[in-house]
Chain A
Amino acid sequence: MNFQIEPCTQETLVVKIEKALDFRNAAEFKTLCQDHVRAGARNFILDFSDTGILDSTGLGSIFSLYRQVSPLNGQVVFASVSRPVQVVVQLTRTYKVFRQFPSVEAAREALA
């Protein structure tokens, strides 16, 4: 399984990204998130602790999620960013858009 979902509150959930979020599974991620937004989720904590690659298509799917939840006052935040993911964040300066937290717990507290 590429993604594990853990609800925190009615509106906030954690999505654990496993080995990769890239062109091979970005569509699955997008559909999964769309389903949860339709069900009422607004805040997404993306857990990258075990992620070995985030590529351009994966990043694009995160932008897609952001476009959906932002007008609804929702947030997308990154937690436990692995080195490979940090390379992409730094290259694209997406820390300007997505807050980063050292752990999922820290992200949960901030969004509570």
Chain B
Amino acid sequence: MNLGTYRFSDLCSVIDHVHDLFAQWERTVVQSEADVQALHRVKLAAHEWLANLVQHATFDQRVPEISFAIHLNEDRIDCTIEDNSDGFDLESQLLERSTSLEPYPERGMGLLMLNACTDALTYQSVDGNRNRLTFTITANKDPWLDIPFHI
């Protein structure tokens, strides 16, 4: 089931709008407990990515354009988030952060949480000044981000 594509250009309100969409979908679309859990993982992943864009993305002098698309399948949810920022090397950032995570970390977990709770995560440049993040959340999975808890 295609839940649609949504477009935003206001970085101050995009996260609240996306949260509202998830609240609506939880009420109207998903039914099983496994699907609800998966939807909440998608919401967390989308939030962490959008938070990353809001806090760190650069757009030169362009008006930010973010599009968000979500597709429900039988046992997984596919999500695509496109942006017109200058982009960055997600793989390198993930590698750097995974090797520098300290006990009870205050910062630096966002991209790692996004990576841990998703499958097939990619971020690539498409068509000139657009970038595309894609990921899948599989139902009935119990992902784990190993945070050190011993100082």
Contact = CB atoms under 8 A, between A and B. Distances in A.
B43 A53 contact: yes
Interface in A39-64: 52-53, 55-57, 59-61, 63-64
Range, interface on chain A: 20 to 34
Interface in B106-146: 106-107, 109-110, 112-113, 116-117, 142-146
B63 interface: no
Contact of B110 (A56, A64, A84): A56
A34 to B, nearest CB: 13
A84 B44 contact: yes
A91 B106 contact: no
B23 A91 contact: no
B43 A56 contact: no
Contact of B109 (A60, A84, A90): A60
A22 B46 CA distance: 13
Interface centre among A56, A57, A90, A97 (most CB of B within 10 A): A56
Range, interface on chain B: 20 to 34
Contacts of A66: 104
A52 to B, nearest CB: 6
A23 interface: yes
Contacts of B105: 60, 63
A63 to B, nearest CB: 4
Contacts of B78: none
A63 B43 CA distance: 22
Nearest to A53: B47
A94 B103 CA distance: 12
29 contacts: A22-B47, A52-B19, A52-B23, A53-B44, A55-B47, A56-B48, A56-B110, A56-B113, A57-B110, A59-B109, A60-B105, A60-B107, A60-B109, A63-B106, A64-B104, A64-B106, A66-B104, A67-B104, A83-B36, A84-B43, A87-B117, A91-B44, A91-B116, A91-B117, A92-B109, A93-B144, A93-B146, A93-B147, A97-B149
Interface in B1-57: 15, 19, 23, 36-37, 40-41, 43-44, 47-48, 51, 54-55
